[in-house]
Amino acid sequence: MREPVTAYVGLGANLGDPAATLTQAMQRLGSTAGVTLMARSSLYRSAPVDSSGPDYINAVVEVRTFLTAPELLFCLHGIESAAGRERPYRNAPRTLDLDIVLYGDGQISSPALTVPHPRMWLRAFVLVPLNEIAPHRVPVACLNRVLEQVVVGIV
């Protein structure tokens, strides 16, 4: 059996009841075989970035998993689908978006998956909740670069 890996998953939604959807997604992820939910950030509200529609609700969770990164991504896509996720165009408003932002110390570059997430270091809606649960994973310089992006804790 392989060793477990600590991974961080970003969650976001801006359609329907985003806070409830994120909470349900966290529960589903935590009940996935081979995945243990270790920590979850608060929920944060932020304006859409490179997108449109209502404000987003975002969070980050830490998981310990025996799944490979592609297997974890497959599970995340299943959770998104169960929440009614559609992909009509890039950065469309969504009922649920789940992204692997970090997978251990791994670096992955494939057509299906890039880890660390390629835009995470530019997004306060990822860095602020990640910093809440894993400050050792967020360089202060990166947080300083996104200070002008407003994210507001809601729960």
The structure tokens listed for 51 are 């997108």
Give how far Cα 27 sits from Cα of 63, 71, 122, 126, Å. Answer: 12, 18, 28, 19
Q: Which residues, in sequence order, are bridge partners of residue 56? A: 46
List residues with catalytic annotation: 85, 94, 97, 99
Residue of 80, 73, 77, 74 lying closest to 101 (CA atoms): 73
61 close to 11: Cβ distance less than 8 angstroms:
yes
Integer distance in angstroms from the first to the last C-alpha of the chain?
37
Give how far Cα 30 sits from Cα of 67, 76, 79, 132, Å. Answer: 13, 11, 11, 19
Residue of 139, 142, 69 lying closest to 109 (CA atoms): 69
